[in-house]
């Protein structure tokens, strides 16, 4: 009798995930992927407990298993990440102080040696602990420091707005994420020249808004192949990865979380959507959030998988090698998502919980796995939340109830009003602030900076302006200066986001205004050529050329509007503070770089008579502008 | 006067033959090595070739690019997969080479000879990669030549015929010519010169025809390549279009002297207007006419004297450009046109058609249409998807059989990778099974036959099937919150294959809806491994329970049941080349 081999067709409902060609089957990695000790964050585990970098308090705190502070070290200003070698040493990025500080994690926390790095942020230690990598926000660089003598070994200039950095388990490469670029930088650490490869995160396919064809009203969004090259090239529907704060490695795969923005959902918005971000309605959110994992990142043979995340503004990652589970934390909505089988081809989500349901909002900016507990750091409340991981539960609500909130670790240096504004600024899921709560201020303005995108707003596409350092003394606001005051501008923006500013209280607007006004100006990169800097300044201040006549004063703007030949009726003089970090330029982003702006490659041609300048003068002027 | 700049990256005598160092050192603290992520990164000279396989696309094709001879082709699918077809005109079309680049937003192919090509791609962040592909008896190999990184993003990149020179248009609006090692040979980088697109037309043996599309206002600007020197020629010519500049409405003649600008006179009519602008003199001539569709036609500038309009109805319209009249002519009678059939470009697909060196190509779904416009015939290169209604493994998992309709395939896994040839059993197949004698049983409405590997009937057997086994109990399995959709136990009972749901919060984005296949130890109830699974799948165990076959949208996969390691995979049933009349 023949043995009938069972065959059947499985018809499974829609479920999830993503991928390129199926590869190896799923099984826990043979080599344990990295945990949190060598990759920086705001909280790390050490033999003596937890070390926390309270960024806005300027304090490093050691906490016990209950989240109670047991030691502290005042460093003064704003901090970046902290990383520990697991053997009693830690390093913290003193972002405001332009240095990296070595800490002796002994009985007491002691400040040790330090090394100068302009505006350090992300930190990572090599597997042998001998090299510390740091991202320099101001100088767009990755800096390598020997931990034995704390001297700089090498640096490489990458691109604007670098943040997180991680090193692969074998120490052979590092990955760097950026706020305003849809790519990761993969730096070869074994190569003498530290060759850089770039890994794209932007997808090729696009969003298409499909109008209802059956007269039932409404529209929906479909993801479709990019149009043929013989069609009119359009920005509408293209998607861009931004705000890759958190990066890491799972085995050999680089991982990162980010947002995927569609700044121009439609080419010509409907009249009712005329002033909305992206140009479409609530059912088509212009931003989603993603996790990507990439094998052989940056190579032509890269294998890139990605998945949508059900949280807002992912900024924290933590990995449990024992269970192969990755945890992602949302800064905007205080949600933690667990991803099981994380290093395999079939990751999945066993649970997703929201912290701080009834308590003050958290603002997750760091996480670490500490044995069988997940430690979550709340930037806004400056405390740790502990979530047990060995609960065996599958009900999200029950899991959320297991979390325990620790006490405040440090007092904020910011006023209560500014703190409140910071919370509102990052807040997602508030239908008053944006349509459906899909956008937060921090979506386009991470850390009050800019995402480098041009957004469809009615008849125009407008560049996201940088806020940090460009608020005080720069009224009026918006590219055409239509908003006389900051509060007017905030309300107008909320309405543009599809929110209802009328339901946002004056005190909340006041808090937001206080927060954006408090943001420190971006630090400029150090000019390498003092002579070029001086010559460039002379060109800038040359009355015949006239740059300083409009872009003068402390805020580098005269606050006036001019009828330049553009698609704006009038153009408000923008502040040039932090110019090196805010590419592209002009109201429509048409000049891709400072060089492009100076060589008349943008859409504005009647701003200044740059044609009379020599190439050398243009170079010098570019050096000066980057120093602002 | 716009200057052009001739640049040569001079290799010093000491490093002749080696790629130039592409990093720039900036002075900082003494002893600190400072570099800038370079504009151009020449691949390390020790870069070893990587082997490439030859296989068809696993997903629907969406785009095709031809080399200057109309023979080599690059095709792209909707999952970002890229293939190189060395010669689509060959009598014996070989399987394409699977290139590693994923999701290119731009691609270009240059032919060195019949076995060597240069491929250039641009990814979604503007990173350009240039590589050399060599076809050999064992398959193909790839060597990276150079890369333009994301900090130096590109709009377009064109590999010129012969593969020795590569032309690129940067997002900074510089036009640069590189050699195959990434050295800049020449560039156009002028203030206020803002090209947004290039037109590059190559006729092998003739000078490259070049033009740039400028905006604010829209102008066509002639360029020239003299030897290795790029230069701007004359002044830009204003062009009036009825939509933004694009590669269909603005085309360059093969000799580079003329720009053709296509307009529709009305969205409600079938009328078109074609303005021919002589770049050297600015002379303008107009042709007007009517086609059979209201939609904008696909414009092919086939040779210096003719264009071909593709309407999407399946017809093409040849137009002799000698009919063009001066722009100020008092009237424009409808142009005389010769109608031909154009296969493969129905409806919107016409906008995916490309025509080079008299060869027209359209890629869609599983089909690549190759249509020489000088003849009334074409060929269709078609991927045969793996699609089955029954599947079975033999006792040891060394032979697999599947059926579709009345066709049956038997594949011996120990043989080479060639797709087996099906045999027909003249009746719909209801079930398959290998007997203990290793021969296949085929059950049809007429009964059960025993067949050999060639499909020859060698006997009959009873058709009564074994009753389907009871659904295994999955309640004790460590599913960790996942849902078991279906389960099949191994014949030995030691293993359990379970189709698992993914859960609601990790969503796919236009990727196949996937579940997972989990393999569990029936005794310990622990999961041994998991692999992706399509939303409709078939499973089959080998008789000894050591191997398992899955068949879903990704094709056939036979795996070691204990470890999950793939033993055999097949994504399709091969390439079929069909000749047809237009």
Q: What is the ipTM of this complex?
A: 0.91
Lowest-confidence pick of A349-353, A446-450, B183-187:
A349-353
Which residue, among B505, B545, B549, would best test binding to A if mutated, counting the most A CBs under 10 Å from its CB?
B505
Beta bridge partners of residue A120, listed in sequence order: A136
Nearest to A230 among B173, B246, B505 (CB): B246
Lowest-confidence pick of A286-300, B40-54, B194-208, B367-381:
B40-54
* Stretch A446-455: mean pLDDT: 96
A64-76 as b/e: b if 16+ CB within 10 A: eeebebebbbebe
How do residues B131-188 score in pLDDT, each as one tens digit?
999 998 878 999 999 999 999 999 999 999 999 999 999 999 999 999 999 999 999 9
* Stretch A9-35: mean pLDDT: 30
- Going by pLDDT thresholds of 50, 70 and 90, the confidence category of residue B219 is very high
Q: Is the dihedral of CA A334, A335, A341, A342 positive or negative?
A: negative
How do residues A179-193 score in pLDDT, each as one tens digit?
999 999 999 999 888
The pLDDT assigned to A386 comes to: 96
Q: How far apart are CA A268 and CA A281, in angstroms?
A: 13
Beta bridge partners of residue A258, listed in sequence order: A290
Q: In terms of DSSP H, where are the helices of B473-512?
A: none
* Stretch A48-70: mean pLDDT: 95
* Stretch B258-267: mean pLDDT: 93
The pLDDT assigned to B509 comes to: 38
Q: How far apart are CA A76 and CA A96, in angstroms?
A: 8
- Measured between beta carbons, which residues in chain A are less than 8 angstroms from residue B538? 7-10
- Measured between beta carbons, which residues in chain A are less than 8 angstroms from residue B550? none
The pLDDT assigned to A305 comes to: 85
Tokens of B557: 């996969």
B107-145 as b/e: b if 16+ CB within 10 A: bbbbbbeeeebbbbbbbbbbbbbbbbbbbeeeebbbebb
Close Cβ partners of B475 (under 8 Å, ≥ 6 residues apart): none
Q: Please, are residues A327 and A351 in contact by the beta-carbon 8 Å criterion?
A: no
Q: Please, are residues A85 and A123 in contact by the beta-carbon 8 Å criterion?
A: no
CATH topology of domain A416-518: Cytochrome Bc1 Complex; Chain D, domain 2 (1.10.760)
* DSSP string covering A303-347: EEEEEEESSSSEEEEEEETTTTEEEEEETTT-EEEEEESTTSS--
Q: Is the dihedral of CA B453, B454, B460, B464 positive or negative?
A: positive
The pLDDT assigned to B52 comes to: 95
Q: How far apart are CA B139 and CA A430, in angstroms?
A: 57
Q: Say yes or no to pLDDT of B568 above 80.
A: yes
* Stretch A430-441: mean pLDDT: 92
Q: Please, are residues A225 and B60 in contact by the beta-carbon 8 Å criterion?
A: no
* Stretch B199-219: mean pLDDT: 95
Residue A494 DSSP class: H
On the 0-12 / 13-18 / 19+ scale of CB atoms within 10 A, B481 is middle
Residue B203 DSSP class: -
The pLDDT assigned to A457 comes to: 80
Q: How far apart are CA A149 and CA B458, in angstroms?
A: 82
Q: Please, are residues A360 and A376 in contact by the beta-carbon 8 Å criterion?
A: no
Nearest to A203 among B21, B103, B537 (CB): B103
Nearest to B150 among A181, A299, A600 (CB): A181
For residue A173, give the nearest of A195, A200, A147, A146 by alpha carbon: A195
Q: Fold identical between A416-518 and A530-626?
A: yes
* Stretch B510-519: mean pLDDT: 66
Q: Say yes or no to pLDDT of A22 above 80.
A: no
Which residue, among A153, A157, A230, would best test binding to B if mutated, counting the most B CBs under 10 Å from its CB?
A230
Q: Say yes or no to pLDDT of B297 above 70.
A: yes
**B481/A341 touch (CB, cutoff 8 Å), yes or no:** no
How do residues B84-129 score in pLDDT, each as one tens digit?
999 999 999 999 999 999 999 999 999 999 999 999 999 999 999 9
Tokens of A256: 């990162």
How do residues A489-512 score in pLDDT, each as one tens digit?
999 999 988 889 999 999 999 999
Q: Say yes or no to pLDDT of A571 above 80.
A: yes
- Going by pLDDT thresholds of 50, 70 and 90, the confidence category of residue A543 is very high
- When the pLDDT of each residue in chain A is averaged and rounded to a whole number, the result is 88
Q: Please, are residues A319 and A255 in contact by the beta-carbon 8 Å criterion?
A: no
Q: How far apart are CA B222 and CA B225, in angstroms?
A: 10
Tokens of B13: 């005598």
The pLDDT assigned to B285 comes to: 97
The whole-angstrom distance between B330's CA and the closest CA on chain A is: 32
Residue of chain A whose alpha carbon sits nearest to that of B550: A7
**B32/A204 touch (CB, cutoff 8 Å), yes or no:** no
* Number of neighbouring beta carbons within 10 Å of residue B353: 26
- Going by pLDDT thresholds of 50, 70 and 90, the confidence category of residue A149 is very high
The pLDDT assigned to B417 comes to: 61
Q: Say yes or no to pLDDT of B573 above 90.
A: no
Tokens of B549: 């076959």
The whole-angstrom distance between B580's CA and the closest CA on chain A is: 26
How do residues B453-470 score in pLDDT, each as one tens digit?
888 888 888 766 555 556
Q: Say yes or no to pLDDT of B1 above 50.
A: no
B231-270 as b/e: b if 16+ CB within 10 A: bbbeebbebeeeeebbbbbbbbbbebbbbbbbbbeeeeeb
* Stretch B271-283: mean pLDDT: 97
Residue of chain A whose alpha carbon sits nearest to that of B38: A196
Query: What percent of chain A shows pLDDT beyond 70?
Result: 89
Tally A–B CB contacts below 8 A: 326
Q: Please, are residues B361 and B354 in contact by the beta-carbon 8 Å criterion?
A: yes
Q: How far apart are CA B87 and CA B154, in angstroms?
A: 28
- Measured between beta carbons, which residues in chain B are less than 8 angstroms from residue A27? 528-530, 563-564
Lowest-confidence pick of A271-275, A496-500, B447-451:
A271-275
Q: How far apart are CA B261 and CA B273, in angstroms?
A: 8
Lowest-confidence pick of A25-39, A204-218, B133-147, B393-407:
A25-39
* Stretch B23-33: mean pLDDT: 46
Q: How far apart are CA A149 and CA A135, in angstroms?
A: 19
**B390/A181 touch (CB, cutoff 8 Å), yes or no:** no
CA angle B234, B239, B243 (to 5 degrees): 145
Q: Say yes or no to pLDDT of A16 above 50.
A: no
Q: How far apart are CA B238 and CA B215, in angstroms?
A: 9
The pLDDT assigned to A213 comes to: 62
The helix or strand, by DSSP H or E, that contains position A221, with its residue range, turns out to be strand A219-224
Q: Say yes or no to pLDDT of A12 above 60.
A: no
- Measured between beta carbons, which residues in chain B are less than 8 angstroms from residue A223? 509-510
Q: Say yes or no to pLDDT of B45 above 70.
A: no
Close Cβ partners of A84 (under 8 Å, ≥ 6 residues apart): A37, A44, A45, A46, A51, A90, A91, A105
- Give CA separation, A140 vs A155, A501, A523, A596, B163, in Å: 10, 37, 11, 19, 36
pTM, two decimal places: 0.91
The pLDDT assigned to A217 comes to: 62
The pairing of strands A219-224 and A206-211 is antiparallel
Of how many residues is chain A composed?
628
Residue of chain B whose alpha carbon sits nearest to that of A593: B172
Domain map of chain A by residue range? 31-157, 416-518, 530-626
Q: Say yes or no to pLDDT of A137 above 50.
A: yes
Higher pLDDT, B46 or B573: B573
**B539/A11 touch (CB, cutoff 8 Å), yes or no:** no
The pLDDT assigned to B480 comes to: 66
**B503/A15 touch (CB, cutoff 8 Å), yes or no:** yes
The pLDDT assigned to A567 comes to: 86
Instruction: Kindly report the CATH number that applies to the domain delimited by A530-626.
Output: 1.10.760.10
Nearest to A7 among B34, B44, B538 (CB): B538
Residue B29 DSSP class: S
Class of A31-157 in CATH: mainly beta
């Amino acid at each position: 009798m023949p043995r009938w081999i069972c065959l059947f067709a499985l018809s499974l409902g829609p479920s999830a995930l993503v991928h390129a060609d199926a590869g190896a089957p799923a099984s826990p990695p043979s080599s344990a992927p990295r945990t949190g000790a060598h990759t920086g964050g705001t909280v790390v585990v050490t033999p003596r407990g937890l070390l926390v970098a309270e960024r806005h308090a300027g304090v490093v705190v050691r906490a016990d298993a209950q989240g109670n502070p047991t030691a502290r070290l005042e460093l003064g200003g704003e901090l970046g990440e902290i990383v520990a070698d697991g053997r009693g040493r830690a390093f913290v990025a003193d972002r405001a102080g332009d240095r990296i500080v070595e800490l002796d994690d002994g009985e007491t926390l002691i400040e040790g040696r330090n090394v100068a790095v302009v505006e350090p942020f992300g930190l990572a230690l090599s597997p042998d602990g001998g090299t510390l990598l740091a991202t320099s926000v101001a100088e767009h660089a990755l800096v390598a420091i020997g931990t034995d003598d704390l001297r700089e070994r090498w640096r490489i200039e990458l691109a604007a707005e670098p943040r997180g950095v991680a090193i692969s388990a074998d120490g052979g490469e590092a990955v760097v994420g950026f706020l305003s670029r849809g790519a990761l930088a993969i730096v070869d650490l074994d190569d003498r020249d530290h060759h850089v490869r770039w890994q794209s995160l932007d997808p090729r396919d696009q969003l298409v808004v499909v109008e209802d064809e059956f007269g039932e009203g409404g529209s929906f969004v479909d993801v479709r192949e990019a149009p043929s090259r013989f069609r009119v090239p359009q920005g509408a529907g293209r998607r861009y990865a931004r705000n890759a704060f958190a990066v890491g490695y799972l085995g050999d795969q680089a991982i990162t979380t980010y947002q995927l923005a569609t700044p121009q959902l439609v080419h010509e918005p409907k009249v009712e959507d005329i002033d909305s971000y992206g140009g479409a309605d609530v059912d088509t959110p212009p931003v989603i959030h993603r996790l990507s994992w990439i094998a052989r990142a940056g190579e032509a043979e890269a294998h890139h998988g990605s998945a949508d995340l059900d949280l807002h503004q992912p900024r924290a990652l933590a990995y449990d090698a024992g269970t192969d589970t990755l945890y992602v934390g949302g800064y905007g909505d205080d949600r933690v998502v667990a991803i099981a089988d994380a290093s395999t081809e079939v990751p999945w989500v066993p649970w997703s919980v929201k912290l701080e349901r009834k308590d003050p909002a958290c603002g997750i900016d760091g996480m670490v796995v500490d044995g069988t507990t997940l430690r979550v750091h709340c930037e806004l409340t400056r405390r740790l939340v502990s979530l047990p991981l060995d609960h065996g539960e599958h009900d999200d609500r029950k899991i959320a109830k297991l979390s325990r909130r620790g006490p405040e670790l440090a007092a904020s240096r910011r006023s209560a009003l500014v703190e409140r504004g910071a919370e509102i600024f990052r807040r997602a899921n508030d239908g008053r602030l944006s349509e459906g709560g899909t956008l937060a201020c921090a979506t386009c303005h991470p850390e009050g900076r800019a995402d480098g995108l041009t957004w469809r707003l009615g008849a125009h596409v407008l560049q996201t302006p940088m806020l940090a350092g460009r608020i005080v003394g720069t009224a009026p606001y918006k590219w055409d200066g239509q908003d006389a005051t900051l509060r007017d501008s905030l309300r107008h923006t909320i309405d543009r986001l599809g929110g209802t500013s009328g339901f946002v209280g004056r005190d909340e607007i006041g808090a937001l205004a206080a927060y954006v006004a408090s943001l420190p100006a971006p630090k400029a990169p150090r000019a390498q050529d003092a002579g070029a800097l001086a010559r460039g300044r002379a060109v800038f201040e040359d009355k015949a050329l006239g740059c300083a006549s409009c872009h003068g004063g402390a805020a580098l703007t005269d606050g006036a509007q001019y009828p330049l030949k553009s698609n704006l009726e009038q153009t408000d003089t923008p502040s040039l503070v932090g110019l090196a970090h805010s590419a592209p330029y002009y109201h429509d982003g048409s000049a891709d770089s400072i060089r492009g702006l100076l060589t008349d490659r943008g859409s504005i041609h009647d701003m200044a008579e740059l044609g009379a300048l020599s190439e050398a003068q243009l170079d010098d002027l570019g050096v000066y502008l980057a120093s602002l | 006067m716009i200057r052009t700049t001739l640049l040569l990256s001079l290799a010093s005598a000491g490093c002749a033959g080696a790629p130039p160092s592409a990093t720039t050192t900036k002075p900082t603290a003494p002893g600190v090595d400072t570099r800038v992520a370079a504009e151009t990164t020449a691949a390390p000279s020790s870069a070893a070739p990587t082997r490439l396989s030859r296989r068809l696309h696993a997903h629907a094709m969406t785009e095709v690019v031809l080399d200057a001879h109309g023979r080599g082709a690059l095709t792209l699918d909707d999952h970002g997969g890229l293939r190189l077809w060395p010669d689509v005109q060959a009598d014996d079309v070989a399987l394409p080479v699977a290139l590693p680049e994923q999701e290119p937003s731009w691609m270009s192919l240059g032919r060195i000879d019949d076995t060597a090509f240069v491929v250039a791609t641009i990814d979604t962040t503007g990173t350009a990669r240039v590589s050399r592909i060599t076809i050999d008896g064992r398959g193909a190999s790839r060597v990276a030549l150079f890369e333009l990184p994301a900090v130096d993003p590109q709009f377009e990149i064109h590999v010129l015929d012969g593969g020795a020179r590569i032309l690129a248009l940067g997002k900074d609006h510089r036009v640069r010519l590189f050699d195959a090692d990434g050295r800049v040979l020449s560039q156009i980088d002028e203030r206020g010169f803002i090209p947004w697109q290039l037109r590059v037309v190559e006729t092998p043996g003739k000078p490259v025809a070049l033009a740039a599309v400028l905006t604010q206002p829209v102008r066509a600007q002639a360029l020239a390549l003299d030897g290795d020197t790029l230069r701007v020629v004359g002044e830009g010519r204003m062009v009036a279009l009825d939509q933004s500049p694009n590669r269909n409405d603005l085309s360059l003649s093969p000799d580079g002297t003329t720009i053709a600008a296509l307009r529709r006179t009305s969205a409600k009519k079938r009328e078109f207007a074609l303005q021919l602008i002589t770049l050297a003199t600015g002379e303008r001539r107009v042709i007007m006419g009517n086609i059979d569709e209201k939609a904008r036609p696909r414009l092919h500038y086939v040779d210096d004297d003719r264009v071909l309009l593709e309407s999407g109805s399946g017809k093409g319209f040849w137009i002799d450009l000698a009919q063009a009249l001066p722009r100020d002519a008092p009237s424009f009678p409808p142009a005389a046109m010769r109608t031909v059939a154009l296969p493969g470009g129905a409806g919107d697909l016409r906008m995916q058609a490309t025509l080079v060196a008299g060869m027209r190509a359209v890629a869609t779904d599983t089909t690549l249409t190759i249509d020489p416009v000088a003849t009334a015939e074409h060929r269709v290169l078609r991927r045969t998807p793996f699609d089955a209604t029954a599947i079975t493994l033999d006792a040891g998992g060394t032979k697999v059989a599947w059926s579709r309709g009345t066709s049956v395939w038997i594949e011996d896994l120990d043989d080479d990778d060639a797709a087996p040839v099906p045999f027909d059993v003249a009746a719909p197949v209801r079930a398959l099974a290998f007997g203990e004698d290793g021969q296949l049983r085929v059950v049809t409405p007429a009964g059960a036959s025993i067949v050999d590997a060639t499909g020859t009937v060698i006997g009959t057997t009873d058709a009564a099937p074994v009753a389907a086994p009871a659904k295994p109990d999955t309640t004790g399995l460590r599913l960790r919150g996942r849902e078991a959709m279906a389960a099949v136990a191994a014949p030995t009972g030691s293993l359990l294959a379970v189709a698992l749901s993914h859960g609601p919060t990790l969503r796919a984005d236009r990727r196949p809806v996937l579940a997972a296949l989990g393999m569990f130890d029936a005794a310990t109830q622990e999961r041994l491994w998991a692999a992706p699974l399509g939303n409709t799948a078939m499973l089959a165990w080998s008789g000894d329970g050591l191997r398992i076959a899955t068949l879903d949208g990704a094709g056939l996969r036979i795996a070691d049941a204990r470890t999950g390691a793939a033993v055999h995979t097949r994504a399709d049933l091969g390439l079929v080349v069909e000749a047809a009349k237009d």
